[in-house]
Structure 1
Amino acid sequence: MTDKKSVTLRFRASADEQKQIEAKAQLAGLTVSEYVRRVATGQPVTERLPAELRQVIVGVANNLNQLTRYAHLRQFDDQAINEILHQLKTALR
């Protein structure tokens, strides 16, 4: 269970450092406070993928699943497989 946050910590940083901290917190999808707490306490901080990249990855995964399904069913529809491969190549450019 998370303790109620009742203590305020303050520290000095340069304007550059502030921008870096804010940018990293935003990439991680966290508030600056949560980001600094996690970094200071050694908790994991991972960057979130941009929505566009997530969509590409999901599309690639779906295409790979379709190819796998065709292979398992031994249904080798050249046109469908070539279309999926084209979509994969386009997504990965």
Structure 2
Amino acid sequence: MLTLEDCLGLCELDEEEILAIAEHEHVPEIVALEMAQYMVHLPEGTVMIKRMILEDIQHAKQNNNQSHAEVLEKALKHFIVNHPEFKAPSTQ
């Protein structure tokens, strides 16, 4: 049987990104992992994931949970760095 850790090893997102999706969608981590792996291959999937994480950050800040907002911001930065469609075009 595969564990969550096994599935994370096969996924294109890391644990913090998956946890942010689980929080946003109110689903267990394994379901969020399946959703994320599917969404990351959709034409607008990475934009959807980024939006989810941004909404989670906003929600954490509105609830005065700065430490959680910081964890989510770290997850967002990691997500942006690891998905080339978010990188600024180079100027020559």
TM-score by length of 2: 0.36
- Larger Rg, first or second structure (1 or 2): 1
| Larger RCO: 1 or 2 (CA < 8 Å, sep 6+) | 2
